[in-house]
Homo-oligomer: A and B are copies of this chain.
Amino acid sequence: MGRWQPDSRGRLQESALALFAERGFDQITAAEIAERVGVTERTFFRHFADKREVLFGGSDYLKELILEGVVAAPASDGPLDAVVRGLQVAAVLLGEGRRDLARQRQAVIRANPELHERELSKLADYASSVAGALRQRGATDVQADFAAEIGMTVFRLAMAQWVESNEDTDLPSVMQRSLADLRALTVDT
């Protein structure tokens, strides 16, 4: 056995979510989370740039997934459709995770403006990367920006709907429906 227990990072994430859910984000100090896991505050901040980041651990990986999906989209797809391919890839992964954990996470984030801010920021970052990928596929700047942003909106609203729906609804199809709703809106008189 090593000098320390393994996977402090992962344990910090779990511990943080539990504590936040129980007592609220700003009632919990980084030191408290760290202590419960058996490390020091300093170690917490080595793993996470700031206290909020502990709730967004997998977001880099998710971003990669989305980008791969966009790149892999058939050339015949328009920009918006390509984005949706990427999001579908992400949706499949997220749809597999435990629904109650996702719900708990969403609840914590919605309850705190700072966390909500951070989430929006992550999405904006996805959008920016996705827009880059779309330009590589030949989209114009304006097309790329809009398609990416709209994609993130669809993603976000679909996630919100899914998390609150009952067990036998799957995320990919919720997203599909959201996209249809959106299209109906813009065509509206």
Seen from chain A, the residues whose Cβ lies within 8 Å of a Cβ on chain B are 78-81, 113, 116-118, 120-121, 124, 142-143, 145-147, 149-150, 153, 156-157, 178, 181-183, 185-189
Contacts and interface: CB of A to CB of B under 8 A. Distances in A.
Residue among A113, A142, A186 facing the most chain B CB atoms (10 A cut-off): A186
B185 A187 contact: no
B150 A78 contact: no
Given A117-B118, A121-B117, A187-B187, A146 B182 contact: yes
Copies in the complex: 2
A113 B120 contact: no
A185 B81 CA distance: 10
30 contacts: A78-B185, A78-B189, A79-B185, A79-B188, A80-B186, A113-B121, A116-B121, A116-B124, A117-B118, A117-B120, A117-B121, A120-B124, A142-B157, A143-B185, A145-B157, A146-B153, A146-B157, A146-B181, A146-B182, A147-B185, A149-B153, A149-B156, A149-B157, A150-B150, A150-B153, A150-B186, A153-B153, A182-B186, A183-B186, A183-B187
A114 to B, nearest CB: 9
Nearest to A78: B188
A71 to B, nearest CB: 19
Interface centre among A79, A149, A182, A185 (most CB of B within 10 A): A185
A36 B113 CA distance: 30
A187 to B, nearest CB: 7
Nearest to A186: B186
Contacts of A150: 150, 153, 182, 185-186
Contacts of A81: 188-189
